[in-house]
């Protein structure tokens, strides 16, 4: 039976306040009464079961905090031997992959591109364009999401725009 999304998440700047490097700018924006939506997730969530997939469409808005581009929270899977597939539907972006040793790799994630996230890698999408970045993710329904380690430690690199160029730089935190 066809299904539409059964869960919608809206992630605002206040939800990511600890993740951006320039927390001073985040607090300045929030104290001014603004709390912009950074991204939205439209999820077809299935009960956790081996062999069953869940899927989600994520809309990641364009923008920066200082020179750091907007991004998704990023996570490992609770069941680490689970991979994931992202399919770019609109916009321009990057996909950061980080292993448990904090080694980073990046893949482009533009309209029409498919990216495979191997098991045991944290992953985060970053919008490096001037329009919405939209992608479809497909993952085992029993994979689970571990956001805590990323909230505590962050990614070892961040994506910034400086002098009109996109750069991957060491996370100053």
Residue 60 falls inside a structural domain: yes
Report the 10 Å Cβ neighbour count for 91.
21
Which one, of 99, 106, 115, lies nearest residue 153 by Cα?
Answer: 99
Residue 1 lies in a domain: no
Q: Cα(59)–Cα(90) distance, rounded to whole angstroms? A: 9
Does residue 142 form part of some domain? yes
pLDDT of the chain, 173 residues: tens digit per residue: 456 788 899 999 999 999 999 999 999 999 999 999 999 999 998 888 888 999 999 999 999 999 999 999 999 999 999 999 999 999 999 999 999 999 999 999 999 999 999 999 999 999 999 999 999 999 999 999 999 999 999 999 999 999 999 999 999 98
In a domain? residue 85:
yes
Task: Give the angle 74-75-78 at the CA atoms, nearest 5°.
Answer: 170
Residue 2 domain-assigned?
Answer: no
Asked if residue 95 is part of any domain, the answer here is yes
Looking at residue 1, its pLDDT comes to 45
**What is the total count of domains within the chain?**
1
Question: CATH code at 115?
Answer: 2.60.120.10
Please report whether residue 99 resides in a domain. yes
138: containing domain: 7-170
């Amino acid at each position: 039976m066809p299904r539409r999304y059964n869960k919608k998440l809206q992630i605002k700047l206040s939800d990511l306040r600890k993740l951006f490097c320039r927390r001073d700018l985040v607090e300045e924006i929030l104290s001014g009464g603004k709390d912009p939506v950074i991204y939205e997730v439209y999820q077809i969530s299935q009960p956790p079961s081996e062999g069953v997939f869940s899927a989600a469409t994520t809309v990641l808005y364009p923008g920066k905090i200082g020179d750091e581009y907007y991004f998704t929270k990023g996570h490992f899977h609770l069941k680490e031997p689970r991979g994931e597939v992202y399919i770019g539907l609109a916009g321009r972006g990057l996909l950061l992959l980080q292993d448990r040793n904090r080694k980073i790799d990046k893949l482009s994630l533009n309209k029409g591109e498919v990216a495979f996230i191997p098991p045991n890698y944290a992953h985060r999408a970053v919008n490096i364009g001037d329009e919405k970045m939209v992608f479809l993710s497909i993952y085992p329904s029993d994979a689970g999401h571990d956001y805590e380690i990323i909230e505590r430690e962050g990614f070892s690199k961040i994506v910034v725009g400086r002098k009109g160029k996109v750069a991957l730089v060491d996370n100053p935190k």
